Structure 1
């Protein structure tokens, strides 16, 4: 096997690995989007028409999250992920900027998020 053949083999292998990772990531995002939509419709009793925008993306923590915009709350965005097999809302924020003073009244903020916001930082870090 010549040098040219070895380079082609290495390049082909790297290309194949990259393609598998990309396809796997795309499939994971699509699966989580479907799961979040099912959660919102079946558990939270929203209709599909209530949702204006939904997009999964990779992040640092959580690994994959879904950003959701509701039609009746155009200035807010809500974030969901799968945690221990369950879909949970892990954050809410304005579409642009940061709500530093927590002054925005989010229409779709779930109770669990509100309870976690009131835990003192020292306790939350343990």
Structure 2
């Protein structure tokens, strides 16, 4: 008798945050870039078994932008405090009319 069992295997990446100091993302301009390590694992039946290559990267948790860490370059630190309500480049505040209470008149085209 022949018994067919599917064998599930593949590769998966595991991320580990090294430094949680937030930095500005050059792609989406949010203060969500952190320093992390990315390690590729060989998995059998969804269980990570054998570790492969390990990379040190900068990664953005908002847009998933990532780049390897290089000597002499790092994303910019935010200008203000990081967190809710802090200024982030590209953020648009609520619309405020430049006319301060001006209301257009909707008169007839003939003036009466």
**TM-score, normalised to structure 2's length?**
0.28
Higher Rg:
2
Higher relative contact order (CA 8 A, sep 6+): 2
Higher share of residues assigned helix: 1
